Amino acid sequence: MEKREQLYEGKAKKVYATDDPELLIVSYKDDATAFNGQKRGTIVGKGVINNRMSNMLMQMLEKAGIPTHYVEEINERDTIVKKVSIVPLEVIIRNIAAGSFSKRYGVEEGVVFDTPTIEFSYKSDALDDPLMNSYHAIAMKLATPEEIETIKKYAFAVNEQLKAFWKEAGVTLVDFKLEFGRLSDGTIVLADEISPDTCRFWDSETGEKLDKDRFRRDMGGVEDAYAEIMKRLSEHL
């Protein structure tokens, strides 16, 4: 399968058409952005790691009964995926307070929740991805009530699978962002990516950050952190 026209260039990936109208090729870049594109940089090797990690994790989730867009990895940066119409919501699951949750509610980073939380942000760069509840999403016809229920069910199931996997690898899954989409028949599937760009990973022993926070917060050791989290994945598959 080959790339045809480029349909979209995002902050972290390019999306190409293929000869099959139901399939796309996503190509992972080393470009990194944060704070809605205000901070820009390059993380050398990131695209290769995010492509591999996302594909490995999505295959694991498929085995656990969660439908995803993953079809086939064709080289170290490019993957064939099922084309979806993206539900314009960022679905965020949290196990531990961090990032915008800590800032918004004045809760120290690292506070462990008894039960995971879910929240939605409206995917809109122009509006800076505002927080949105499910009633707002339904009122704006971004998703139906049934789709919201399906998305919530899958998002919590993804959390249980990933949390257990990463625990074995000595990594605490703090929080993460998912995107879902509709196939041409309306079926909801997990799309986009699952990677150190979209998850917070803390070393279970040392608490060391092994994710994009090292870039966001100018902590240094960004490439090493991506390599380390990829190594943990490979060793524990």
Q: Which residues pair with 199 in a beta bridge?
A: 176
Classify the C-alpha dihedral 211-173-81-48 as positive or negative: positive
Q: Which does 198 bind (CB under 5 to 8 A by kind): ligand ADP, ligand UDP, none?
A: ligand UDP
| Helix segments in the chain, DSSP class H | 46-63, 99-105, 134-139, 145-168, 213-216, 222-236
Angle value at C-alpha 29, between 94 and 236, nearest 5 degrees: 50
Dihedral angle over CA of 61, 188, 200, 32, nearest 10:
110
In the complex, least distance from residue 84 CB atom to ligand ADP, rounded to whole angstroms: 4
Interaction of residue 172 with ligand UDP, rule CB under 6 A: no
CB 25 within 8 A of CB 74: yes
Considering the rule CB under 6 A, would residue 90 count as an interface residue with ligand ADP?
no
1 binds ligand ADP, rule: CB under 6 A: no
Smallest distance, ligand ADP to C-beta of residue 96, A: 24
User: Does 10 interact with ligand ADP (rule: CB under 6 A)?
Assistant: yes
Q: How far lies 142's CA from each of 39, 69, 79, 137, 154, in Å?
A: 29, 19, 27, 5, 17
Please, which residue, 4 or 167, has the CB nearer to ligand UDP? 167
Which CB, 88 or 172, lies closer to ligand ADP?
Answer: 88
* Angle formed at CA 84 by CA 83 and CA 89, multiple of 5 degrees: 145
Region from 8-16, 101-109, 165-173, 206-214 binding ligand ADP, contact rule CB under 6 A: 8-16
Q: How far apart are CA 217 and CA 215, in angstroms?
A: 5
Which entry of ligand ADP, ligand UDP, none binds 61, CB below 5 to 8 A by partner kind? none
CB closer to ligand UDP, 78 vs 192: 192
Binding of ligand UDP at residue 179 (CB under 6 A)?
A: no
What DSSP character marks residue 150? H
Find the residue with minimal CB distance to ligand UDP.
99
Of 49, 89, 162, 199, the one binding ligand UDP (CB under 6 A) is 199
Q: Per CB under 6 A, does 81 bind ligand ADP?
A: yes
Binding site for ligand ADP (CB under 6 A): 8, 10-13, 15, 24, 69, 81-84, 86, 179, 181, 191-192
